[in-house]
Amino acid sequence: MTTHITARLAWHADGWNGHVCKDPAANTFCVGQQSYPGTMIGEQRDLAQEQKVCGQGCSKLGKDVPPCMYSINAFGQDRIHAFADTPEFFRKEDRSPDGVRREWDMPPSSCSIWPYEEMYKDEVKLARGGYDPDKRLAAVRNFFAKVEVGRSLVFYYANFSNPFSEEDNKRYVLLGVSRVKALGEELFYDECSQETIDRYGGFVWQRVVSSHYPDQGMRIPYHRYTDKPEVLEQILAVPANPRVCKYAARHVSDDDALILVEQLLGVACRLQELGDDSENWGSRISWLQSVIAELWQGRGLYPGLPAVLDVIGFQAAIPGFVKAKAEEAVAIKDAVFAFLDGTAKAFDGLALNSDEVSKVKRQWQLRTDEERALSRDLLPRFGLDGTQVRRLLGEDRTTYGLPAKLSEIIDNPYILCESYIGDGPDDTIGLSKIEHGIFPSPNIAPAFLYEVDDWRRLRAFTVGQLLIKSTQTFLELSQVLHDVNHDLSFVAEWKRHQFTERYYEVDKEHMLGALEFREHEGQRYVYLRSAWEDEQLVSKCLRELNKRADISFKVPLTESHWGDYLRDDCSILSRMDADQYREAIEGQIAVCQQIFVRPLCVLAGSAGTGKTTVIRSLIHAVERVHGSGASFQLLAPTGKAADRIREKTGKAASTIHSFLAQRGWLNDNLTFKRQGGFREEGIETYIVDESSMLDLTLVAALFRAINWNSVRRLILVGDPSQLPPIGRGKVFADLIDWLGKDYPECLGTLCTNVRQMENRLQKTGTGIIDLASLFILRNSGGEVELQKAHAEQMLARVQEGGKVDEDLQVIYWSGQQDLEDKLVFSLQSDMQADTGLTLNNEKPYELWRAAFKNKEGVDRPEQSQVISPYRGEFFGTDHLNGLLQVASKGRRPDPHRLIDGVALFDKVMQIRNRSRSKPLWAWDTHGRSNKPVEVFNGELGFVKAHALDGKNAFGPWFRIKHFQVLFSRKESFWIGYGRSLGKTPDGKWIGDEKVEDNLELAYAISVHKSQGSEFERVYFVLPKSKQALLSPELLYTGLTRAKKHCTLLIEEDLSPLLTLRRPEASHLVVINSSLFDMRPVSQLLSRKCDWYEEGKIHHTLAQFMVRSKSEVIIANMLFERELPFEYEQPLYAKDGTFYLPDFLVHCQGQTYIWEHWGMISDEGYRNHRETKLEWYEKHFPGQLIETFEGAELSMESDRLIRKMQGAPE
| Residue pLDDT, tens place only, 836-881 | 999 999 999 999 999 999 888 889 999 999 999 999 889 999 999 9
Average pLDDT over residues 367-385: 95
Distance, in Å, from the CA atom of 935 to the CA atom of 951, rounded to the nearest integer, reads: 27
pLDDT category of residue 682 using cuts at 50, 70 and 90:
very high
Q: Write down the pLDDT at residue 98.
A: 47
Strand bridging mode 80-84 / 102-106:
antiparallel
For residue 739, which amino acid is it? L
Say whether pLDDT at 1103 is over 60: no
Q: Of all residues in the chain, what percent carry a pLDDT higher than 70?
A: 96
- The stretch 588-596 carries a mean pLDDT of 95
The least confident of 134-138, 646-650, 827-831, 902-906 is 646-650
> What residues contact residue 205 under an 8 Å CB cut-off, 6+ apart?
37, 84, 114, 116, 119
d(CA 465, CA 417): 12
Listed range (190-199, 244-253, 816-825, 1179-1188) with the worst mean pLDDT: 190-199
Q: Are strands 920-924 and 973-978 parallel, antiparallel or unpaired?
A: antiparallel
- Mean pLDDT over the full length of the chain: 91
Query: Which H, E and C letters describe 493-562, residue by residue?
Result: HHHCCCCCHHHHHHCHHHHCCCEEEEEECCEEEEEEHHHHHHHHHHHHHHHHHHHCCCCCCCCCCCHHHH
Distances 5 to 171, 424, 869 between C-alpha atoms, Å: 19, 22, 35
Taking residues 774-803, report their average pLDDT.
80
Q: pLDDT at position 93, please?
A: 56
57 phi, psi to nearest 5 deg: -70, 135
CA–CA separation, 446 and 356 (whole Å)? 35
Tell me whether strands 907-910 and 940-945 are parallel, antiparallel or unpaired. antiparallel
Provide, for the chain, the percentages of residues in helix, strand and coil under a 3-state DSSP scheme, each rounded to the nearest 5. Answer: 40, 15, 40
State which H helix or E strand residue 976 sits in.
Answer: strand 973-978
Whether the CB-CB separation of 581 and 574 falls below 8 Å is answered with yes
CB contact set of 815 (below 8 Å; sequence gap of 6+): none
**DSSP designation for 80:** E
- In the chain, the percentage of residues whose pLDDT exceeds 90 is 67
pLDDT of residue 1094: 46
CA separation for the pair 510, 507 (Å, rounded): 6
Query: Which one of 39-48, 207-216, 631-640, 772-781 scores highest in mean pLDDT?
Result: 207-216
If one compares 689 and 351, the residue with the highest pLDDT of the two is: 689
The answer on pLDDT for 437 being more than 90 is yes
Q: Looking at the domain that runs over 548-763, which CATH code has it been given?
A: 3.40.50.300
Nearest to 942 by CA among 975, 913, 912, 915: 975
pLDDT at 782 over 80: no
The length of the chain, given as a count of residues: 1209
Residues 6+ apart with CB under 8 A from 876: 28, 868, 870
Please say if the pLDDT value at position 781 is more than 80.
no
Which of 833, 845, 869, 848 lies closest to 1045, judged by CA? 833
Intrachain domains 773-893+1008-1060 and 1093-1204 with the same fold = no
CATH classification code of 1093-1204: 3.40.1350
What's the distance, CA 336 to chain centroid? 46
pLDDT at 1: 82
When pLDDT is averaged across residues 1031-1056 and rounded to a whole number, the result is 94
> Contact, 609 vs 754, CB < 8 A?
yes
CATH classification (class only), 773-893+1008-1060 = alpha beta
Instruction: Tell me whether strands 962-967 and 940-945 are parallel, antiparallel or unpaired.
Output: antiparallel
Identify whether the C-beta of residue 175 lies closer than 8 Å to the C-beta of residue 157.
yes
**For 22-39, how does the pLDDT look when each residue is reduced to its tens digit (9 = 90+)?**
999 999 999 988 899 988
Q: What is the pLDDT of residue 43?
A: 85
SS3 385: coil
pLDDT for residue 1092: 42
| pLDDT mean over 640-645 | 87
Q: Band of the pLDDT at 1090, cuts 50, 70, 90? A: very low
C-beta separation of 742 from 701 below 8 A: no
Give the sign of the dihedral formed by CA 737, CA 738, CA 744, CA 750. negative
Q: Which residues pair with 710 in a beta bridge?
A: none
Q: How confident is the model at residue 1102 (pLDDT cuts 50, 70, 90)?
A: low
* 37 neighbors 70 (Cβ within 8 angstroms): yes
Write down the H helix ranges in 381-491. Answer: 386-393, 406-411, 415-419, 431-438, 455-468, 477-488
Q: What pLDDT band is residue 1098 in, cutting at 50, 70 and 90?
A: very low
Q: In what order do the strands lie in the sheet with 747-750?
A: 653-655, 632-636, 685-688, 713-718, 600-605, 747-750
DSSP class of 1067: S
pLDDT at 886 over 50: yes
pLDDT digits (tens, 9 = 90+) for 514-568: 999 999 999 999 999 999 999 999 999 999 999 999 999 889 999 999 999 999 8
Angle subtended at Cα 1189 by Cα 1184 and Cα 1193, rounded to the nearest 5 degrees: 80
Residue ranges covered by each domain of the chain: 4-296, 548-763, 773-893+1008-1060, 907-1002, 1093-1204
**Cα distance between residue 473 and residue 1076, in whole Å:** 13
Is the pLDDT score of 477 beyond 90? yes
Give the residue among 46, 38, 91, 80 at the shortest CA–CA distance from 66. Answer: 46
In the structure, what pLDDT confidence band is assigned to residue 752 with cuts at 50, 70 and 90?
Answer: confident
SS3 category, 655? strand
Pairing assessment for the beta strands 474-476 and 523-528 based on DSSP bridges = antiparallel
Q: Are strands 685-688 and 632-636 parallel, antiparallel or unpaired?
A: parallel
Question: Cα separation of 847 and 1001, whole Å?
Answer: 19
Local confidence band at 1091 (pLDDT 50, 70, 90 cut-offs): very low
The pLDDT assigned to 956 comes to: 79
Give the H/E segment covering residue 420. Answer: none
Q: Which of the pair, 675 or 1021, is modelled with greater confidence?
A: 1021
* 128 pLDDT more than 80: no
pLDDT at 221 > cutoff 60: yes
For residue 75, which of 173, 24, 9 has the smallest C-alpha distance?
Answer: 9
pLDDT at 215 over 90: yes
CA distance 1028 to 1051: 15
Section 817-835 average pLDDT: 96
Three-state secondary structure of 359-377: HHHHHHHHCCHHHHHHHHH
Q: How far apart are CA 371 and CA 375, in angstroms?
A: 6
Tell me the H-state helices in 122-253: 133-145, 194-200, 229-235
Cis before 37 (ω within 30): yes
Give the Å distances, CA to CA, from 235 to 77, 166, 169, 170, 273. Answer: 24, 18, 18, 17, 11
pLDDT in tens, 142-173: 999 999 999 999 999 999 999 998 877 889 99
How do 173-183 and 218-219 pair as beta strands? antiparallel
φ and ψ of 812, to 5 deg: -95, 140
pLDDT computed for residue 1105 by the predictor: 67
